[in-house]
Copies of this chain bind each other. A is one copy, B any other.
Amino acid sequence: MTDRPLVGIDDIDRAAERIAGVAVRTPLVTCAVPQRRPGTLLIKPESLQPIGAFKLRGAYNKIASLDPEQRGRGVVASSSGNHAQAVAYVACTLGIKATLVIPEGAAEIKIAATRAYGAEVVLVPPDQRDTKPLELAAEHGYTLVPPYDDPAVIAGTGTIGAEIAADLPDVDLVLVPVSGGGLISGIATAIKTRCPRARVIGVEPELAADAAESFRRGQRVEWSPELTFRTAADGLRVAVVGELPWLHIQRYVDDIVTVTEEQIRDAVRLLARSARLVAEPSGAVATAAHLAHPELSAGGTTAAVLSGGNVDPAQYIEILRG
């Protein structure tokens, strides 16, 4: 599988044309950091996308690339989180049938949000979350929309990097949350092409640090759910980075660092107070890394990607109370 071609900047530029008018062209938002440290922190708030997360970009680029016959048959995806809402939203926008495989026990609010976009929800035992979509695809001819291990999805997320490069060509450091690796793959491809001097660093919770360990070892390492499910950052619990993302990470990413749960909570509070943005814990890890690891930015200009803002209201209040 290691000979799969990497996504290129042309793929990202085509994705940018495709998603224009559907995805929000997010600005860079200044975030004043306490203690007047040298350097500047700017937030790329993907939380402002219609479904509240960056996933819209990849899902739209993938689904809008399908031919009329594929569109007519519909799409299927497996997710209990933002990817489910992204696929359901995009399918609704394009008038395509969507089936979402969601593991039993997922938050009722997320299931309801997915159904609200008109998608069919198939609840399965958690151990069928990866096999059931393949069965449904084979049975009905649905096209599978993977959450990260897919070139069209990666090219879609790459538009975030292209926008950062256009708005902030002198950026020194781009910090990106890492889960399955699709987000950082696209962003790193765009940044290393357009701003080759800039560094791109991934961020994971210390409690779900499979990608950081993989990066250190030079090979993909899997962490069990017993480990990854300890973090409150529920969007970053993927056991191992995807194959195609791993190729991009090896090629383009400078490092992967970790942050503690308390640092994530501090970042959620800072984003509310200093950038006026609502962040989910997973979305705040890049900002947390800027606070926790000041040596990374070395006083330069840092762009931290805020990947999503879909946080349970009670959990959000609990975090804000500190």
**A residues whose Cβ falls under 8 Å from a Cβ of B:** 24-30, 36, 45, 47-48, 50, 52, 116, 269, 272-273, 275-279, 309-310, 313, 316-317, 320-321
Contact = CB atoms under 8 A, between A and B. Distances in A.
B24 A50 contact: no
A318 to B, nearest CB: 10
12 contacts: A24-B28, A26-B27, A29-B48, A47-B276, A48-B275, A48-B277, A52-B276, A276-B277, A277-B278, A317-B320, A317-B321, A320-B320
A117 to B, nearest CB: 10
Nearest to A271: B278
A173 to B, nearest CB: 20
Contacts of A316: 272, 320
Contacts of A317: 317, 320-321
Contacts of A24: 27-30
Contacts of A273: 313
B50 A30 contact: yes
Given A24-B30, A317-B317, 6 more contacts: A26-B27, A27-B27, A45-B276, A48-B276, A276-B279, A316-B320
A313 B271 CA distance: 12
Nearest to A273: B313
Residue among A29, A48, A321 with most chain B CB within 10 A: A48
Residue among A25, A30, A316 with most chain B CB within 10 A: A30
A36 to B, nearest CB: 8
Nearest to A317: B320
Nearest to A310: B276
A169 to B, nearest CB: 12
Contacts of A36: 116
Contacts of A272: 278, 313, 316
A40 to B, nearest CB: 11
Nearest to A27: B24
Contacts of A313: 269, 272-273, 320
A237 B11 CA distance: 52
A277 B316 CA distance: 13
Contacts of A45: 48, 276
A4 B87 CA distance: 54
